[in-house]
Structure 1
């Protein structure tokens, strides 16, 4: 995969648009820009068989979120609550901010 910028950040609300979890919403837990993948809360749950360790003496089967391709999620605008693409807007202080393409709201993190 190409090393590209990802349109979502940790803490953003997103909507999954393709795959087995299509239509579900969740919060971004982590972003891997190197692989263009994101971890979304409650999406793409996998089972991991773990051996007993000192930290978890029981061991057993753990469920956790696996990565999803960033192209399979869309950012949910906090103002209009709709899935949207983003544009970059130059702010007066010289920084770039993300902006909702639907309603024009500046999405700050």
Structure 2
């Protein structure tokens, strides 16, 4: 399995779909399904039954996963592709637009 180019905590922009152009922080990455959960992007309504955690139940809005191909990493205020390079004996992510090391 190859390394994921987007990680939890990264700032990304949506490049396709109904929320195209929106930016947000990655809350979770699902490697198995190649999906990401982005803060305040791809909001869906969910009808919930009353439970111990939610006494009233009702309609809640929450983020739904996006396919990882529909988001692009933001580096220095602009969207960029991500590459990898060896920095000594450590593999690091590199922004293709600027050539800078991301992490």
Normalised by the length of structure 2, the TM-score is 0.94
- Tell me the SS of whatever aligns to 2:5: coil
Gaps of 5+ in 1: none
Question: 2: distance between equivalents of 1:21 and 1:107?
Answer: 25
**Which residue does 1:98 correspond to in 2?**
93
The number of equivalent residue pairs is: 103
Structure that is richer in strand per residue: 2
Normalised by the length of structure 1, the TM-score is 0.89
1:9 to 7, 28, 33: 7
Q: Is the 8 A contact 1:27 1:40 kept in 2?
A: yes
Gaps of 5+ in 2: none
Aligned CA-pair RMSD:
1.2
The residue correspondences of 1:24-103 to structure 2 (distance < 5 A) are 24-77=22-75, 80-92=76-88, 94-103=89-98
Question: 2: distance between equivalents of 1:90 and 1:4?
Answer: 15
